[in-house]
């Protein structure tokens, strides 16, 4: 994580971090923005809004580098629901602001991942794949739970359980004319140290069965 300025925060993933994972090294850095983005007015590019163009200020300084800025619609953040995601994309400049499609957080906010891919595919610059348990999501709505409490109750689940179905997401992403880097996640805090590895192995096997691997692009009939 890196704190940028004026309440901005993001996670900076350098390409060298992936060189030992057996897959292709990404061609760019993804700077994933989360949190309240209200930069100083003197740092807003001409024509950009300090409240809506979340990536404009940062990306304005990064366009000449190999970095690309994407916004993550994280649970319990100011961009969570599908209308909020759509507003961000509709009212921002695609040169500066694009989407980290976090499938689990979109589902958490009541959104439709497949619809977002179909309508805003050119703005999807990075992907986090994970699934949410619909029963826990119903508890979140009924009891107004925080995301932290929802995670403690097991809202994040391993495939094939949960929503959205990763095979549907992979198939839809494969129809895009784009080169995308995908991170697979499952939020488990707190958990014992020996819990994540078996989950990671089974999840990798399931996603490979959906056509998603570290060495080749999925193919689908368009």
The domain tally of the chain equals 1
Please indicate, yes or no, if residue 162 is contained in any of the structural domains. yes
61-104 pLDDT, tens digit per residue, is: 555 555 677 888 889 988 899 999 999 999 888 888 889 999 99
Do the Cβ atoms of 125 and 95 come closer than 8 Å?
Answer: no
CB atoms within 10 A of CB 91: 12
Q: Span 187-191, mean pLDDT?
A: 88
Average pLDDT of the chain, as a whole number: 77
- Tell me the whole-structure pTM to 2 decimals: 0.74
| 68 vs 152: which has the higher pLDDT | 152
Domain range for 150: 2-209
Per-residue pLDDT at 167:
93
With contact defined as beta carbons under 8 Å apart, do 216 and 176 qualify? Answer: no
The CATH number of whichever domain residue 178 belongs to comes to 3.20.20.150
Q: Write out the two tokens for 35.
A: 């949190």
- pLDDT in the model for residue 105: 96
Instruction: Kindly indicate the confidence band of residue 157, based on its pLDDT and cuts at 50, 70 and 90.
Output: very high
217 within a domain of the structure (yes/no): no
Query: For the residues 123-135, what does the mean pLDDT come to?
Result: 94
Q: 157 has which bridge partners?
A: 131
Q: What are phi and psi of 211, to 5 degrees?
A: 100, 0
Residue 143's CB is within 10 A of a number of other CB atoms, namely 11
Q: Which pLDDT score is estimated for 66?
A: 55
Which is more confidently placed, 94 or 24?
A: 94
* 207-222 pLDDT, tens digit each: 999 988 766 666 666 5
Does the residue 220 lie in any domain? no
Ramachandran quadrant class, 22 (left: phi over 0; alpha: psi -120 to 50; beta: rest) = left
Q: Is residue 214 part of a domain?
A: no
Q: Is position 222 within any domain? A: no
Convert 8-39 to b/e letters by CB count within 10 Å (16 or more is b). Answer: bebeebeeeebeeeeeeebebbbbbbbbebeb
Residue 71 lies in a domain: yes
User: Residues with Cβ < 8 Å from 67, sequence gap 6 or more?
Assistant: 28, 29, 30, 31, 59
Higher pLDDT, 179 or 89: 89
- With respect to residue 129, please indicate whether it lies within any of the assigned structural domains: yes
User: Is 9 contained in some domain?
Assistant: yes
């Amino acid at each position: 994580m890196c704190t940028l300025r004026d309440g901005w925060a993001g996670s900076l993933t350098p390409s060298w971090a992936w060189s030992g994972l057996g897959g292709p090294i990404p061609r760019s850095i993804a700077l994933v923005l989360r949190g309240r983005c209200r930069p100083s007015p003197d740092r807003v590019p001409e024509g950009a809004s300090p409240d809506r163009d979340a990536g404009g200020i940062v990306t304005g300084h990064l366009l000449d580098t190999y970095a690309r800025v994407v916004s993550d619609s994280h649970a319990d953040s100011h961009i969570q629901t599908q209308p909020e995601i759509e507003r961000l994309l509709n009212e921002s400049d695609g040169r500066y602001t694009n989407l980290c499609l976090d499938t689990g957080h979109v589902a958490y906010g009541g959104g439709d991942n497949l619809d977002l891919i179909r309508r805003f595919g050119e703005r999807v610059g990075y992907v986090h794949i994970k699934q949410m348990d619909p029963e826990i999501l119903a508890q979140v709505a009924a009891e107004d739970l925080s995301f932290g409490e929802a995670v403690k109750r097991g809202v994040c689940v391993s495939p094939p359980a949960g929503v959205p179905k990763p095979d549907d997401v992979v198939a839809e992403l494969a129809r895009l004319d784009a080169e995308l880097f995908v991170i697979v996640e499952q939020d488990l805090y707190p958990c014992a140290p020996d819990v994540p590895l078996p989950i990671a192995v089974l999840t990798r096997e399931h996603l490979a069965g959906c056509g998603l691997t570290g060495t080749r692009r999925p193919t689908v009939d368009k």
